[in-house]
Amino acid sequence: MSTSWRGAFDAAQARRYLEACRLAGLQLRLHGDQFTESGAIPLAIELGARSVDQLEATTDAGIAELAASTVAGVLLPASALFLDRPMPRARALVDAGAAIALATDFNPGSSFTTSLPLIASLACTQLHLAPEEALAAMTVNAAHVLGEGESRGRIAAGYRADLTLLDAPDWRYLAYSLAGHVAVGVVRDGVPTFRR
């Protein structure tokens, strides 16, 4: 949502669209604060959105609002890197108490990658997150944003056995490997579905 970016919805236009989506029974997620801060966070909070994604232009006031809410911030560091934009202020968001998730934003226009190891590396080196914060943002917090927090995103009794197996001496190699091929297997619902 930006009035200075051609083709983007402003807050009033986004409100009409999002209210129609909510009436249709859809869960709301907003793309906002990518180029300017123009009301995405207050709108997401007011409408009960699950998340607001991007957040490269979020100021201290937006960080405080998000931290005081139940809306998660989804950070897309590969998009910021590709577009040569400022990185989202992940450290400030986490320190303020905001819930964050990390994603690739696989998008041929601004983030043509599906590599979670790259995102983990950017999260640690550019967003200043600890490896365990990055892992939580890519697993349990991401599952919550997708409405799957009660069944996915963690290894625990009662949760679906969705796992990625790494060929590494330590789980932190996921971030250390800088988009390397550390994943050697995938287990979905307890069934191996991929092995390299």
Is 98:126 a contact under the CB 8 Å cutoff?
Answer: no
On whether the 11-155 domain is CATH 3.20.20.140, my answer is yes
pLDDT in tens, 68-87: 999 999 999 999 999 999 99
pLDDT in tens, 115-146: 999 999 999 999 999 999 999 999 999 999 99
pLDDT in tens, 35-64: 988 899 999 999 999 999 999 999 999 999
At residue 163 the predicted structure's pLDDT band, cuts being 50, 70 and 90, is very high
| For the chain, domain boundaries | 11-155
At residue 181 the predicted structure's pLDDT band, cuts being 50, 70 and 90, is confident
Q: Is 111 helix (H, G, I), strand (E, B) or coil?
A: strand
